[in-house]
Structure 1
Amino acid sequence: MMGIRGTSGTNDPERPEGRHAIDVGHAGVRKIIDTTCDGVWVFDTKGRTTYVSRRMAEMLGSTPDELIGAKLQEFLDPEDRAAAERDLHGWLTKQAGANYQHLLRRDGKDLWTRVASNPIENEYHSIVGLLGMFTDITERRSMEQALQRAETEFRIVFDASAVGIVVVDRQGYAVMANAALLNMLGYRREEITNVSFEHVTHPDDLGEDRRLYTALMRGEIDSFRREKRYVTRSGKVLWVHVNASLVRSTDGIPQYAISMIEDVTERVKAERALHHSETQLRLALDAARMVIWSWDVPTHRLEWSDNLHRVFDLPFERTPTTLQEVIDTVAPEDRERVRKEMNAAVENADFEFVSEYRVIMDNGETRWFEARGEVERDGAGKALCMRGTAVDVTARKSAEVALRASEERFRTLADAAFEGIAISDEGKLVDLNNRMLSLLDVQRDDVIGRNIAPWFANESTSEVQRRIREGDTGMYEATLLRRDGRPVQVEIQARYFQADQGRTLRVAAVRDVSARRLAAELLQQSQERELRAREDFSRHLLNAQEQERQRLAGELHDGLGQNLSLIRNRMHLALETANLDPEVAEHLQAVAQIASDCVAEVRSLAQNLRPVQIEQLGLTESLSSLVERVRDSSTTEIECRIEDVDDTLPPDAATHLYRICQEALNNVLRHANAQHSSLTLVRDVGILHLDVRDDGVGFDVRTASGAGGLGLTSIRERAQILGGNLEVHSLPGKGTHLQVRIPFTEPAERH
């Protein structure tokens, strides 16, 4: 190789084997070896140096003479020696090859090399040494490590960055994206490569984005920045700040773009909120006719908000810039006072500057302004600046004048009112009119500021306090106490209104209703007497009816009934006459039958007029018999359930209950047109419950009550006579339900 050949080795143990095995041939070969960029290093089979080129010695930081006899292991990192022994063995067994070796120079610095090795043979083809070509790759290794570190650092920054980072190809599709961007947009890592910037850009921002990215990929611009909107996978809209940079190839051709994407949604919201707030403040200041000012105390310079000219109607060239210029605009009668108030606020830390003053406008109009300010001081308490507001209060001043006039009118009207008027604040009296003072029999100074509660009777106090506490505005009655303790019945109704300083005042109109109350009581007593009289009249009338029915029943039974019975008997005797003409016998038989029918009808009439079976059979059996007779005379199916009630009512009361049941069933037959009906009479503790139901045509209860139907009226009057009541439930087409409740005294309680 390059004129170096292998020769037989020597047996001298003190000299490296093959020391003279290197034959440089002639000076040209040696010159080539010494001038090559690679180092040449020759070892014997024991790894000792037999030859080293000048370049190799320089690489190791030594000289060729110093290296003769040195072993390769001396220049290896201890951790690499075992691997180097294996490599040396492989080289000496003709397993030539190339690998990398990490060597240490004499000065301890790292030397990274690439090694190409070949064994050296003698003329007998025996391996007597090893030749290695060492290329210094330390600088390249350093660059590779630096590049690796840079790539690692980039990956760390890329993956850990809180800002979204994406690499985008020339077509606008994502090549890779970091976790921050994936989380921002809601995509998975494997999905993002199918997403282009157009997919996630808001439609309203897409046109400008396309224009910029096209210019970037054409190389017309190297980067661009903009704020835009992204639409996430879930449809949420984000505001982002995009900083896109172009990456070119070594020959300057655009390759791809790297974009840094920051979510600025909250910032945009904050900016918009701030802008909205500033706009609202400006509108509020204009609407309130208020300006903000700042006075530099040492220099007396003034600064104003930009709405000064709109509020004060001043031309721009007349903007007051000093305190004196402001004082000059104040009405002469207010100037000295305003100056003193401002000086007092500057000189006294406890003094708050609040001043109302008049300004004569250019058009001669007088307007009122209110100025407020707070003083900023240094550590020693010296005034540095006063900041505050000035607001046009002309309308308020006019309103105050109008309010005072209104209050006077209100006082005049209130004092002329027939009702008492009391104004209170959280339960304490603020003002009263003359009528209210007269009701209480007090002087105004005796009650102003006092609690309302003591002026009411005990039974009314809690109700009054509750209505005040709940802000009730309904009308109610209460008992008021005069100064001498005499009660006065009053009717109260209150209203609430907002007063100054956020107070809510209660205005109560109080009307003396003692006379009305007395009249109402007298009317109620009269109505009760009338009701009792009507009930007594109804009771006497019904009793009289019952007595008349009993008399008529007796007359029918004892008079007409007996005569008809005699006629029937005489007809039967005549029929027994011998040789009676058949035609005459037929007439006699017909008359006898008619007489029998009349007797039966008279008996039925007598029973209806006077239910004598109540006395004979009892109320329970009489009612059952009544239901049976109604069943026999009608096609309506009637269900009946009657408990034993014989011991519940006295005879007269039992008759009334019988008539109630009779009238209720008659109503079903005459008016209901029902298929099914029921009558139930049960007893409870001290109460009889009568229920009559049907599935008939029903009726409008209100119309029937207004029409005053005699049947229902009779049932109601009889129930009232018995101390009970009637309830009727019915609707057209829904049937009817009558409920009668009658109290009675249990037998055990009658003695």
Structure 2
Amino acid sequence: MIPRASDIASSLTASRRMLQVAPWKFALAYSCFVVIWILSTDAVIHTWELPSWTYSARGFFTGGFTVVCMWIFTRRLAEGAIRTQSLISEAEGGYRALFEVHPAPMWLYDKRSLMILKANEAAVATYGYTSKDFANLSILDLYTPAERENILQGASVQEINSSALSGIRKHVSHDQRVMTMDVLGNEGLFKGQPYGLLMAHDVSAHFEMERKLAHSLGVIELAQQIAMMGYWEQDPVTLRMTWSQEIYSILGIDGAMLQLDMACFLSAVHPDDRKRVNMAHQDIARTGHMTLEYRVVRPQGEIRYIYERATITREPSGGARILLGTYIDITELKAVEHRLAEQQKRYEYMVSRLPEGVLIVRKGAIHYANAAAFDMFGGSIKLSLEEADFSQCIHPEFRAREIDRLSALKKGLINEQPFRYLKLLRLDGSEFEAEVAEIVLEDKGQRDIQLIVRDVSQAQQMRRALEDANSRLQQLSQRLIEVQEVERRQLARDLHDDVGQQLTGLKLHLQRLIKKLDPEPSLKEMAQTIAHSVDEALSKVRSLSLSLHPLQLENLGLEAAVRWHLAHFLEATQTKWELQVAGPVSETSPEKAVAAFRIVQEAIANVARHAQADTVRISLKRDAEGLKLEILDDGRGFDVNEAIQGAKSLGLTSMHERVASLGGEVKISSLKGVGTRISVRLPAVQAPLK
């Protein structure tokens, strides 16, 4: 995967020619400009009799121009070196040497498979892999999972080019450290085989500095803070001082009305800082430099903050030494710092007063804890919470998982998660249940984890108590339904066996009496009326007995009981009915058959009393999942939520209770003017009550 020797030889020749020719051209152009500049400025200064500080200004300009020229020159050299090293062949020792000792991480990889062929020493040192490790990695393994997804985006490995790999990218090292890298890529062919070359520069610190600076002040605001800057010069021998106009503006003095000298300047300094400023200016001759921050008072009483730097240097011509100082008004910057400090105090106060616990975990230890966290974890030993090992505050059941999660969060491998359930330990060893949310904090290159802890022990206990109470209520409801069915069965038998038999005997005796009263027409008519009343009473007793517990349900099964009830109950109405049966309904267990029959009984009663329906369709289906019952009518309909929430229908409540006691589901839907649908599912295997 190395370029052809002929291509590299020609490229090397061109690059070396550039490196050889470029220096003298730059040097010649620079020398000519400097000579012309010095001669022309000397002529202008002598002709116009400009003050001596113009020599300093000329020196500053010359120095700045020199820096720019050197930057252009070194950049030209660097670009030539990069082009040269990217084309040198392995056969020529210069390529290998430049590749190996280059300060930036570099990789040579197979364009077809993206497997890394070689990595330089900088890549090994920066990423923590050995050269052998790199040989087993794909170039995509250097990128974070999110970056790999962005690079691929449905494309195959063969379709990935160097431009897709280049740019500002997130790389991950061997120890899972995430780095922001400026990646440059190139591609080529060697003997018809494609290869790729990748180089990366670590710009993590640059991006971190920009992010923090923009977050705290904003780039534009920061530029506005240092809007006023002046300078002054002093001859160490004559002590004559020259002040720039900006200093007059900062001090609030009219330069045309008052000539500023050292005594006048010191009078403008705040009385509390005057002695310190005077001593610092006097010590410059001994120390050679000064850095000072102090206050000045304007004539109208306004206080301004000043940052001053001074140093002893020589004139550009190499003559006598001069004292040069810069004067910067940092009042606005001080105000911003004060506001930031106030905001920090308010934030700390707010966090300390939060009712939920706040912890900051740094390197596995608790770096900060607010008052609620002290109460939550510390109990009677609050002072030992900070700097405690956070892993010891996690219940052993969750400890290994949470330690791995915090480590992955710190490395940026996973995302933050909202409140989740966790068991924690107090410092005295007692456990409590909590919900924990996590936030990643960036502080001076250190990634800390902020945890918001919410104690839910009491809520969890209440929830479990409610679940237990609900379970007991369901058991009680099921038991009441069972007792009710037993009582109904017993009452039906009593009516049928006792009352029914007595009425039947009374009827037989009346029939015998009627035969003997043929000679007495009036008495016979009275006896016949009584016998008719006994027939009606006997019919009502039988009907009531069957309604309480139809014998067909026990003797013939669910289908026969439902058919009898439909025919018997709806015969006096104009409602048509239809029953559809599928599957072995007769094999339904007794408790489920009773529940289904009672639901049909209640639904038909509602249809007859309220719905005014023309048609009722009932479907019974039994399969491996259980028994399914559906009742559909075309009646008036009603508001289901209003009926259930307002407790207007005990029948609907009874349906829900019966089905819930058997672990089933019931759905009731109704539209006014359209009809009602009741769907019931009773599972084959009853789920345990919760």
TM-score by length of 1: 0.47
**Residue of structure 1 equivalent to 2:641:** 701
Q: Check if 1:290 corresponds to 2:239.
A: no
Structure 1 gap segments, 5+ residues each: 1-280, 348-352, 747-751
Q: Check if 1:729 corresponds to 2:687.
A: no
Q: Check if 1:432 corresponds to 2:372.
A: no
Deviations 1:143-188 (A, max 9, x none): xxxxxxxxxxxxxxxxxxxxxxxxxxxxxxxxxxxxxxxxxxxxxx
**Residue of structure 2 equivalent to 1:617:** 556
What is the CA–CA distance in structure 2 between the aligned matches of 1:710 and 1:326, rounded to whole Å?
A: 96
Using the TM superposition, name which of 685-694 and 727-736 deviates more: 727-736
Post-superposition shift, 1:600? 2.7
Q: Check if 1:607 corresponds to 2:546.
A: yes
**Residue of structure 1 equivalent to 2:274:** 332
Post-superposition shift, 1:681? 2.7
Post-superposition shift, 1:328? 7.1
Secondary structure in 2 matching 1:681: strand
Secondary structure in 2 matching 1:683: strand
Are the counterparts in 2 of residues 378 and 384 from structure 1 also a CA contact under 8 Å? Answer: no
Matches within 5 A, 1:35-54: none
**Residue of structure 2 equivalent to 1:650:** 589
Letter in 2 for 1:701: N
Secondary structure in 2 matching 1:635: coil
Secondary structure in 2 matching 1:561: helix
Matches within 5 A, 1:59-458: 288=225, 290-293=227-230, 303=244, 309=249, 313-315=252-254, 317=256, 329-330=268-269, 331-335=273-277, 356-370=293-307, 390-393=329-332, 394-396=334-336, 398-399=338-339, 410=349, 414=352, 420-423=357-360, 430-433=367-370, 436=373, 439=377, 455-456=393-394, 457-458=398-399
Q: Check if 1:688 corresponds to 2:635.
A: no
Letter in 2 for 1:655: V
Letter in 2 for 1:367: R
Change in Cα spacing, 1:366 to 1:386, as seen in structure 2 (3 Å) is: closer
Are the counterparts in 2 of residues 490 and 510 from structure 1 also a CA contact under 8 Å? Answer: yes
Post-superposition shift, 1:607? 0.7
Letter in 1 for 2:605: N
Change in Cα spacing, 1:528 to 1:418, as seen in structure 2 (3 Å) is: closer
Identical counterparts, % of pairs = 23
**Residue of structure 1 equivalent to 2:537:** 598
TM-score by length of 2: 0.50
Letter in 2 for 1:723: G
What is the CA–CA distance in structure 2 between the aligned matches of 1:344 and 1:623, rounded to whole Å?
A: 115
**Residue of structure 2 equivalent to 1:679:** 618
Deviations 1:504-554 (A, max 9, x none): 99865545555x26xx43x55554554444344333433333233223222
What is the CA–CA distance in structure 2 between the aligned matches of 1:344 and 1:709, rounded to whole Å?
A: 101
Letter in 2 for 1:362: P
Post-superposition shift, 1:671? 3.2
What is the CA–CA distance in structure 2 between the aligned matches of 1:432 and 1:745, rounded to whole Å?
A: 52
Are the counterparts in 2 of residues 291 and 389 from structure 1 also a CA contact under 8 Å? Answer: yes
Are the counterparts in 1 of residues 585 and 622 from structure 2 also a CA contact under 8 Å? Answer: no
Q: Check if 1:715 corresponds to 2:652.
A: no
Indicate the structure whose relative CO is greater, using CA pairs within 8 Å and at least 6 residues apart: 2
Change in Cα spacing, 1:335 to 1:486, as seen in structure 2 (3 Å) is: same
What is the CA–CA distance in structure 2 between the aligned matches of 1:379 and 1:638, rounded to whole Å?
A: 115
**Residue of structure 1 equivalent to 2:682:** 742
Matches within 5 A, 1:545-564: 545-564=484-503
Are the counterparts in 2 of residues 674 and 697 from structure 1 also a CA contact under 8 Å? Answer: no
Secondary structure in 2 matching 1:362: coil
Secondary structure in 1 matching 2:368: strand
What is the CA–CA distance in structure 2 between the aligned matches of 1:562 and 1:474, rounded to whole Å?
A: 73
Secondary structure in 2 matching 1:555: helix
Secondary structure in 2 matching 1:690: strand
Post-superposition shift, 1:611? 1.6
Higher gyration radius (CA)? 1
Post-superposition shift, 1:652? 3.7
Post-superposition shift, 1:710? 1.9
Post-superposition shift, 1:431? 2.4
The number of equivalent residue pairs is 449
Letter in 2 for 1:616: N
**Residue of structure 2 equivalent to 1:478:** 422
Are the counterparts in 1 of residues 510 and 527 from structure 2 also a CA contact under 8 Å? Answer: yes
Letter in 2 for 1:478: L
Are the counterparts in 1 of residues 251 and 296 from structure 2 also a CA contact under 8 Å? Answer: no
Change in Cα spacing, 1:553 to 1:370, as seen in structure 2 (3 Å) is: same
**Residue of structure 2 equivalent to 1:636:** 575
What is the CA–CA distance in structure 2 between the aligned matches of 1:410 and 1:642, rounded to whole Å?
A: 72
Secondary structure in 2 matching 1:556: helix
Letter in 2 for 1:634: T
Are the counterparts in 2 of residues 681 and 689 from structure 1 also a CA contact under 8 Å? Answer: yes
Letter in 2 for 1:720: A
As a proportion of its length, which structure holds more helix?
Answer: 2
Post-superposition shift, 1:420? 4.5
What is the CA–CA distance in structure 2 between the aligned matches of 1:731 and 1:511, rounded to whole Å?
A: 45
Are the counterparts in 1 of residues 310 and 324 from structure 2 also a CA contact under 8 Å? Answer: no
Post-superposition shift, 1:744? 1.9
**Residue of structure 2 equivalent to 1:489:** 433
Post-superposition shift, 1:573? 5.2
Secondary structure in 1 matching 2:330: strand
Secondary structure in 2 matching 1:290: coil
Change in Cα spacing, 1:583 to 1:482, as seen in structure 2 (3 Å) is: closer
Letter in 1 for 2:228: V
Letter in 1 for 2:306: F
What is the CA–CA distance in structure 2 between the aligned matches of 1:667 and 1:321, rounded to whole Å?
A: 105
**Residue of structure 2 equivalent to 1:666:** 605
What is the CA–CA distance in structure 1 between the aligned matches of 2:605 and 2:453, rounded to whole Å?
A: 56
Deviations 1:630-656 (A, max 9, x none): 332433344432334545543244223
Using the TM superposition, name which of 687-696 and 601-610 deviates more: 687-696
Using the TM superposition, name which of 685-694 and 711-720 deviates more: 685-694
Post-superposition shift, 1:703? 5.2
Are the counterparts in 1 of residues 577 and 615 from structure 2 also a CA contact under 8 Å? Answer: yes
Are the counterparts in 1 of residues 663 and 682 from structure 2 also a CA contact under 8 Å? Answer: yes
Letter in 2 for 1:687: G
What is the CA–CA distance in structure 1 between the aligned matches of 2:622 and 2:309, rounded to whole Å?
A: 84
**Residue of structure 1 equivalent to 2:565:** 626
Are the counterparts in 2 of residues 377 and 385 from structure 1 also a CA contact under 8 Å? Answer: no
What is the CA–CA distance in structure 2 between the aligned matches of 1:312 and 1:700, rounded to whole Å?
A: 82
What is the CA–CA distance in structure 2 between the aligned matches of 1:374 and 1:583, rounded to whole Å?
A: 146
Structure 2 gap segments, 5+ residues each: 1-217
Deviations 1:230-287 (A, max 9, x none): xxxxxxxxxxxxxxxxxxxxxxxxxxxxxxxxxxxxxxxxxxxxxxxxxxx9x97997
Post-superposition shift, 1:613? 0.8
What is the CA–CA distance in structure 1 between the aligned matches of 2:487 and 2:424, rounded to whole Å?
A: 57
Post-superposition shift, 1:662? 1.1
Change in Cα spacing, 1:643 to 1:335, as seen in structure 2 (3 Å) is: same
**Residue of structure 1 equivalent to 2:482:** 543
Are the counterparts in 2 of residues 358 and 368 from structure 1 also a CA contact under 8 Å? Answer: yes
- What is the CA RMSD across the aligned residues, in angstroms? 5.7
Post-superposition shift, 1:697? 3.0
Post-superposition shift, 1:608? 0.7
Post-superposition shift, 1:622? 1.6
Letter in 2 for 1:359: V
